[in-house]
Amino acid sequence: MFTPCTLCHSTNAEIIRDTLRYDIKRKVLRCNDCTFVYLETPDATNQDYYTSKTYRETYGPNLKKKGSEPKEIYDTYFPFQGVIIDALKDILRPDMNVLDVGCSTGQFLSALKGKVAGRIGMELSEADVAFIRENLDFKVYSEPIEDAVIPEGPFDMVSALQVVEHVPDPVSFVQHLGKHLKPDGYLYLELPNIHDSMLDAYHIKGYENFYYREPHLSYFSEKTLGDLLAKAGFVGKIKTVQRYTFTNHLHWLLTGNPQDNFTLGNQEPILVTTDTVSPPVKQELNDFIRRVNREYIDLIEKHGMGESLTFLGKKAV
Ligand SMILES: [Zn+2]
């Protein structure tokens, strides 16, 4: 019998894969009742996995080596926080206080500096917590959200970026996020989309082998994320977002492999980097690929195939 579905508890499931990134043998199941996709035995990846160095020694933004130090993670992701700030521009206010759960090396809270009044982080990785305490100017708690007492709350916004897919019980986790929110506060989530174009449209074998991974226990769609939020008592807007570029997708399509690092896949594409042609020609060629990239990203998002899902909403009344 299969591990029950994390969302609807049905045991009526099918196996869609039996191998994860790094050739780890573990089954990926899809619930036949609610379509939720999840790893067999999600409890096997518990919070000690994140507290210890195991996670950071295995996964990181630089794919040429295994693992990353906190400073490298911070320096890689900080320059790309602007798109998240931009997505939140209508709700951010200077008098807000924000809790970011699973804050990693604090890159998002750093980017919020000067835009909100209060910033608090929560992170299980001991190395990331030590990095924040040494280098950044906000307070970080190191216990799981289920145990945390946070006198600075309740908050005007609670965020969890690329976190929900890691927790064994997403419904309970999101409910715990809600406990730290003011009645009218905002919940903001980002997580991978299982209807990512690389899986649904292109079916790139190398990407499938890369996509499913031990720390990701859940694989949400717009539909199953909606189910989760309804169960946890939230209403709001779910969107799909594409941040990896057109040229990153071309790279995957032509080689079957990822680019070497996160930055290459996310920075605005460029065709001509040398000065062997005149500046106007260089500019015209580079403007062309930027235009194509923007149009491509719009198309992917329009069809719900962005690599991430975002949710912005509030507690249901
Ligand atoms: Zn189900």
Question: What does the pLDDT read at residue 265?
Answer: 84
Question: What does the pLDDT read at residue 61?
Answer: 66
| Superfamily (CATH) of domain 43-191+226-242+305-315 | Vaccinia Virus protein VP39 (3.40.50.150)
For ligand 1, the distance from its centroid to the CA atom of residue 21, given in whole angstroms, is 24
For ligand 1, the distance from its centroid to the CA atom of residue 230, given in whole angstroms, is 14
For ligand 1, the distance from its centroid to the CA atom of residue 41, given in whole angstroms, is 15
Residue pointed to by tokens 């419904």: 171
End-to-end alpha carbon distance in the chain: 38
For ligand 1, the distance from its centroid to the CA atom of residue 180, given in whole angstroms, is 28
| pTM as predicted | 0.92
For ligand 1, the distance from its centroid to the CA atom of residue 175, given in whole angstroms, is 19
> From CA 202, how far away is CA 157, in angstroms rounded?
36
For ligand 1, the distance from its centroid to the CA atom of residue 33, given in whole angstroms, is 5
CATH 3.40.50.150 spans which residues of the chain?
43-191+226-242+305-315
> From CA 61, how far away is CA 264, in angstroms rounded?
10
For ligand 1, the distance from its centroid to the CA atom of residue 82, given in whole angstroms, is 35
Q: Is 98 exposed, middle or buried (0-12, 13-18, 19+ CB in 10 A)?
A: buried
For ligand 1, the distance from its centroid to the CA atom of residue 10, given in whole angstroms, is 5
For ligand 1, the distance from its centroid to the CA atom of residue 16, given in whole angstroms, is 14
For ligand 1, the distance from its centroid to the CA atom of residue 14, given in whole angstroms, is 11
For ligand 1, the distance from its centroid to the CA atom of residue 303, given in whole angstroms, is 24
Question: What does the pLDDT read at residue 60?
Answer: 67
Report the half-sphere exposure of 149 (CA within 13 A, side-chain side).
Answer: 0
The segments of the chain whose pLDDT lies below 50 read none
